[in-house]
Amino acid sequence: MAEVRRRRKRESRVLRYVVLGGWALFCLAPVLWFLSIGLRPRTEIITPQPIYLPTFSLDAWRMIWSDWPMGAYLRNSVLAIAGSVVISVSLAIPAAYSLSRYRYRFREDIGFYILSTRMMAPAIVAIPIFFLFRNMGLLDTIWALMLIYAAINLSLVTWIIRSYMLDIPPELEDAARTDGASDLRILWEIIIPACLPGIITAAVIAAIFAINEFLFTLLIASTSSAYTMSVALANFTGGSDGVIYNAIALVAFIAFVPVFLVVVAIQKHLSRGLTMGAVKG
């Protein structure tokens, strides 16, 4: 009996590592191969027979800095993302405070309205937004990107922060309140410091969504004054040469590395952030 159970246990462990290892391979193989694309010469990418062991080359690295305004793409990405995170977090904190600390009419409807904007397909509002920005003269500027990224992320930032605020024990504020502190002072001096992990999680996830954003950026940006990395990639084509994959691969990794490091740092909060606060991991 014990013998059978032990054997079964060993078998289940083997199965477990086959499943997990298999998926890890499926995750990593395309990534490593794409990295090798970034570090090989153009001539070894699209060939009659795929080349699995290419010659090492930094052609693509030189190319992205000399043939394209890579510095401008980086600057646009960073500015648009940082600006949008600042806008969405500063609108979300008071909103989350209101939704988590007060009882009033329509509170739940307002909360759900904020949540529901996350459900809207970008394509549905793409045309009106395009005309809106055109009329405001904001097409092809990072201001437009900032505004739209902030709007896309506002719902999830609000809900994540709200979820963390609900976890703060009320006793914390009660003490301050008896001392006569105003609501805004309590928000600033007690609530915000206490839910800082939530605010950081929300900011990181919002930043990732902003880096990834494609459709609106595609419509808004038309030159290097607003192209972000995500959309600049799609324009790495060289006329008759077709898509320039090694440059694309390198840009993909330039964007990936910081995102990966930050996400590893907030790993503990990730599941909560991705579900807008609904799942406490």
Partner 1 sequence: MTDAALSGGEAARAASIAPERGLRRRSRFRRRAFPYLLVAPAVVYLLMITLYPGVYAIYQSFFHVRFNSWTFVGFDNYRSLMGDREFWAALSNTFVIGSIALALQCALAMLLAFHAYRDPFVKGWRIVFLIPMLFMPSAVAFIWKLAFNDGRIVSDLLMRVGLIDANVSFLSSISLARMTLIVADVWQWTPFLFIIFVAGLQSQDEEIEEAARLDGASWAAIFWNISLPMMAPVVAIAVVLRGIDITTMFTNVYIMTQGTPGGATETISYFIYRLGFKTFNFGYASAASVLMLILTIIVAQTVVKRAFRSGRL
Residues 183-212 that bind partner 1 (CB under 8 A): 183, 208, 211-212
Among the listed residues 74, 78, 82, 125, the single contact to partner 1 using CB under 8 A:
125
Asked if residue 220 lies in contact with residue 144, where contact means CB atoms within 8 angstroms, the answer is yes
By three-state DSSP, how is residue 272 classified? helix
Q: Does 4 bind partner 1 (CB under 8 A)?
A: no
- Using the rule CB under 8 A, which residue among 78, 79, 82, 132 binds partner 1? 132
- Contact letters (x/-) for partner 1, 207-246, by CB under 8 A? -x--xx-xx--xx---------xxx-xx-------xx-x-
CA dist., res. 155 & res. 85, Å (int): 12
Cα–Cα distances (Å) from 74 to 19, 94, 270, in that order, read 39, 31, 25
Amino acid letter, 101? R
Strand partners, 237: 243
Cα gap 201→263, rounded to integer Å = 9
Assess 122 for contact with partner 1 (CB under 8 A): yes
Q: How far is CA 271 from CA 53, 112, 114, 230, 263, in A?
A: 38, 20, 20, 24, 11
Does 136 help bind partner 1 (rule: CB under 8 A)? no
154 binds partner 1 (CB under 8 A): yes
127 binding partner 1? (CB under 8 A): yes
114 near partner 1, judged by CB under 8 A: yes
Q: How far apart are CA 116 and CA 114, in angstroms?
A: 6
Please, what is the minimum distance in Å from the beta carbon of residue 211 to partner 1?
A: 6
Interacting residues with partner 1 between 71 and 110 (CB under 8 A): 91-92, 94-95, 97-104, 107-108, 110
Q: Confirm or reject binding of residue 139 to partner 1 (CB under 8 A).
A: no
**3-class DSSP assignment, residue 30:** helix
Q: Which range in 23-31, 53-61, 63-71, 189-197 contacts partner 1 by CB under 8 A?
A: 23-31
Question: Scanning residues 31 to 50, which ones bind partner 1 (CB under 8 A)?
Answer: 31, 33-34, 37, 45-46, 49-50
Residues 190 and 174: their CA atoms lie apart, in Å, by: 11
Q: Site for partner 1 (CB under 8 A): which residue of 131, 136, 188, 238?
A: 131
